[in-house]
């Protein structure tokens, strides 16, 4: 087989192959995107999103943290955004206590944010989060 023949065959296979692979996967992008759009619309995303947002409990640090007593800077517990403030404060105290017991000291740690995990998380997300925690601790 001459060099020219080899180049012709290679070019043909490469061109057709790349075009077909991209064509198929781009078609899938379109189909999955369209379906995802309808799925989101059908499930009433807006309402659900609002509920999830309400369920999130944020304990914001930042500027508010700086305003609070410097001596208590390790355990700053700031504004709760819903009615069960006392319960949430208790939750933070429990988490802080657990950290203290595990690490032996409170120095260097402060709780800046607590956010409820989504209950419909996938197993991949759960595995990833566990691994992340493992590497961080």
Partner 1 sequence: MWNVFVDSIIGLAKKSGFSNLTPLHLVMIAISCFFIFLAIKYKFEPLLLLPIAFGMLLANLPLGNLMHPVIWDNIHDLQFADLFNSDKFGLLDILYLGVKLGVYPPLIFLGVGAMTDFGPLIANPKSLILGAAAQIGIFFTFFGAMMLGFTQQEAGAIAIIGGADGPTAIFTTTKLAPHLLGPIALAAYSYMALVPVIQPPIMKLMTTKKERCIVMEQLRPVSRLEKILFPIIVAVVVSLVVPDATPLVGMLMLGNLFRESGVVARLSETSQNALINIITLFLGVSVGATASADKLAQPGYGAQAFKIIILGMFAFAICTATGVLFGKILNVISGGKVNPLIGSAGVSAVPMAARVSQKVGQEANPGNFLLMHAMGPNVAGVIGSAVAAGVLISMLGGK
Q: Can you tell me the distance from the alpha carbon of 91 to that of 93, in angstroms, rounded to the nearest whole number?
A: 5
Candidate residues 4, 107, 117, 123; the one interacting with partner 1 per rule CB under 8 A: 123
**b/e burial code for range 40-64 (CB count within 10 A of at least 16 → b):** eeeeeeeeeeeeeeeeebbbebeee
Mask for 22-61, x = binds partner 1 (CB under 8 A): xxxxxxxx-xxx-xx--xx--x------------------
**Alpha helices (H) along the chain:** 3-42, 45-55, 62-67, 85-103, 123-136
Which DSSP category does 120 fall into?
T
7 versus 106: smaller Cβ distance to partner 1: 7
Mask for 72-111, x = binds partner 1 (CB under 8 A): ----------------------------------------
Catalog residues that contact partner 1 under the rule CB under 8 A.
Answer: 6, 9-11, 13-14, 16-18, 20-29, 31-33, 35-36, 39-40, 43, 118, 120-125, 128, 131-132, 135
């Amino acid at each position: 087989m001459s060099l020219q023949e080899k180049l012709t065959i290679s070019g043909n296979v490469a061109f057709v192959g790349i075009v077909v692979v991209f064509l198929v996967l781009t078609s899938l992008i379109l189909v999955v995107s369209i379906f995802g759009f309808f799925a989101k619309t059908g499930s009433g995303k807006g309402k659900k999103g609002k509920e999830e947002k309400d369920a999130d409990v944020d304990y914001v640090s930042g500027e508010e943290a700086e305003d609070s007593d410097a001596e208590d800077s390790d355990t700053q517990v700031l504004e709760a955004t819903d009615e069960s403030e006392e319960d949430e404060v208790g939750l933070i105290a429990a988490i802080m206590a657990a950290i203290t017991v595990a690490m032996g000291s409170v120095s260097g740690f402060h709780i800046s944010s607590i956010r409820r995990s989504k209950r419909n998380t996938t197993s991949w997300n759960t595995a990833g989060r566990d691994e992340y925690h493992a590497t961080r601790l």
